[in-house]
Every structure is written in C-alpha cells, then in structure tokens.
Amino acid sequence: MELETGAPAAGGGCVARAPDGRVVFVRHALPGERVVAEVTAETASFLRADAVAVLSASPDRVAPPCRHAGPGRCGGCDWQHVALPAQRRLKEQLVAEQLRRVAGDTRSVVVEPAPGETDGMGWRTRVRFSVDRSGRIGLRRHRSHEVEPVASCPVASDDVNGVDAGRHRWRGARTVEVAALPARSGGGPSGAVVTVTTARGRPMDVPRLDAGCVVDGRTVQEPGGMDTEVLGHRYRVSGGVFWQAHRGAPAVLASAVLDGLEPMAGERTVDLYAGAGLFTLMLADAVGASGSVLAVERNARACEDLTVSARGFPQVSVLRAAVDADLVASRIGSPDLVVLDPAREGAGRPVMASLRDLRPSPRRVAFVSCDAATFARDLRVLTDAGWTMPSLRAFDLFPMTEHVELVGVLVPPVTT
C-alpha cells in the first residue's frame, strides 16, 4: 500500500494510517515521506510494515552504509538510512514523547553525541552474533529468529572485526559474542575475548582464534577477560560480563553520574545493578576512606571482576544479589547517594517504591537507563511522591539505532 509517514515511533519506524484507518508502524521510512509499504504483521488494531520503495524522500534520507541493512535484512540497526544529525533529532522526539506521555514531564530533550563521534560507524566494542544451522554467525532479522549472515559488522570496531570470527563455523553454538575493549581511554585494545553459549550445553569444537575464548562460562583459551581503563581507574571485565558497548560510553556515563551526584567525602553510597563496577570505583574514590560504597550485582562473574578491580578500596563492599524491593527496603541501609543502572526492562515499580520509602531519603539518585519507556515508567513512581529531576542528559551511545542512554538526577522533596 502507499502511505504518508508521520511521527517516529518506538521500534525504529514511523506512524502512518492504512486506508481502513488502522495504525501502521513503518520501518525503513522517515517522517514526511510517501512510501510503498509491504505489510509484515497484522493485528486487529495495527499493522507492521516495511518501506520497500520511496516515492517522495525526506531530505534526511541517505544511502545505508551497511550492505546488510534494508527490508527483510539485518535487524541490528534501525536507522542506517537516516543522516546522523537527524537520528539525534528523532531520538529527542521519542524521549520527550515518552516522558510527556508516561511521566507527565514536558521538558525538551537534547541528545548529545559521544566525544569523537563522526559518522556513527565502528563504535561497538562488543557484538553478540547469532548462529545459523550451518554454523555461520550473523545477526537476527527484525522480529525474527532467522539469521542474516554477517561476517563483519560495520558498526563494530576494527578490533572486534579483526578477530575474524566470521571465517569460522560455530556448529553447536547458539550465540558468539566478540568483545575487544580499549586498554585505556584513547588507547589500543587490551586484547579480545570470544564468549560462546552452546545449544543446550552440547559439546563443540572451538576454532583456533587470536583471542581468548569462554564457552558456557568456562575459559577454554586464555585470556578469559580483559583489562580496561576509564578516567584513571582500572577494570577487569571477563568474557560475557556486561560492559557498555560504545567505546566512549564508560567515560561519558561515569562523568555524567559524578557530575550529577556531586559525592562528598564520608558519604554512604549504593550502586545498584553494579555490573563490573564502572560507577563503584569512581564513587569509592570520591567518598574516600571515610565513606562507603555497597555494590549490588546478581551476576557471579561480574561480582568476581568487581572484587578484583576494587582491591585497594577497602570502603567497597560487593553483595551478590538480585535487586528487588525487599533488598532495597532491608539490605542497603540509609545511603546518602544511590546509582540505578538497570537493564532495558528497568528497575520496576516495586523497586522504585522501596527506594521512595527509604527513610531518611537519599540525598540524590542517579538513574542510568537505555530505554526511555521504562525510564519514564519508573521515574513516575518518584515524581508522584514529590521527587524532582533537576537534571536529565541524553547521550547518543547507539548510533544507527533508535536507542539512547539517559542519565537523570533525582532529589527527594524537602521535608520540614
């Protein structure tokens, strides 16, 4: 069908109206275009479609730099067809709309580029590939289990692509993650690690690689992890442990959190969803030996990495536990400062309610999120109780996709 496309929508597409009045979410389009759309999914209330021909193009449309991009192809990038400045404007609209609609917050949003970002390519320091039945690696097609064979990903760094995982067959594997972190800010790589999950624990022959290899949590070829430096702090990150993907993200986010919290010597701090401890070490340095940092993380390997990285910081305690409402209510004490950095699904209303009910309230909370919708949902729990968000920063740490990283600073209501 021919459609006129309107505002951007969550999911990487644009909103349009079908002749019968139903909403259509159109991928591979831009606002204000006229396109020929092919329906890919249908419900009683809306359709999903791909723009397979452009009859009237937006001035922000560009030729996709990746040969795997396009209708029915790789689902890893939403906006390869969009000029980079326009991508940021679209993200600003999407974040502002979620804040207004879900949290009742009407502020405007500015999406900041990562330092040194020029063309939106080559930024990923880790890529998780799927594996097809023949053992080839690739990325899943949009809303599909089908694998688009991708031997070399153009949004991945040269160090990730240099592992050349695509020239091997990975029979028996389900996913293959290739990671290569910079040894220090602006420096070369610290080496690479390939992390494999197998299909139902089946044995597999691991290819010979110029990289470490971890299979189902077991190191089969050293190194099993990497060392990286952020703002003067050294971190250990094992294969498969979460670390920010954009090469500039750790320094940008750590700086934003510290600037927002303004930690002081002697303060008690809690780092929830701490991962490998990016914020933990920064906070420990800021509060000093007279302060304390409790880092809470459920992943055992991440806790091990954090414990190694925190040697020399006796004020750091590591608690291996899932973050839930009971933990926040009964096991973190009365912190002066809290950092929340949950996964895409967010912290959830029960966790936010427990945080809201802490007495005394934390002086400030830094909320780091990669999903505007769950961020707005969780934010509403605090703002409905009188909390305010004096600072919100948005960073374009996922070029070529609809995703954006948010850092909000929240303060409790003044009590008399």
Active site residues: 370
SS3 272: strand
Q: How far apart are CA 111 and CA 406, in angstroms?
A: 9
Side-chain-facing half-sphere of 302: CA atoms under 13 Å:
21
Side-chain-facing half-sphere of 34: CA atoms under 13 Å:
3
Query: Is the preceding omega at residue 263 within 30 degrees of 0, hence cis?
Result: no
What does the radius of gyration of the chain's CA atoms come to, in whole angstroms? 22
Query: Is the preceding omega at residue 360 within 30 degrees of 0, hence cis?
Result: yes
Q: Give me the count of residues in the chain.
A: 416
Identity of the amino acid at 363: R
CB 148 within 8 A of CB 138: yes
Find all residues with CB under 8 Å of 249, minimum gap 6, and list them: 114, 395, 397, 405
Identity of the amino acid at 87: Q
Q: How far apart are CA 345 and CA 92, in angstroms?
A: 20
Q: How far apart are CA 171 and CA 144, in angstroms?
A: 20
Q: How far apart are CA 197 and CA 263, in angstroms?
A: 39
Q: How far apart are CA 126 and CA 123, in angstroms?
A: 9
Burial class (CB within 10 angstroms; exposed 0-12, middle 13-18, buried 19+) of 202: exposed
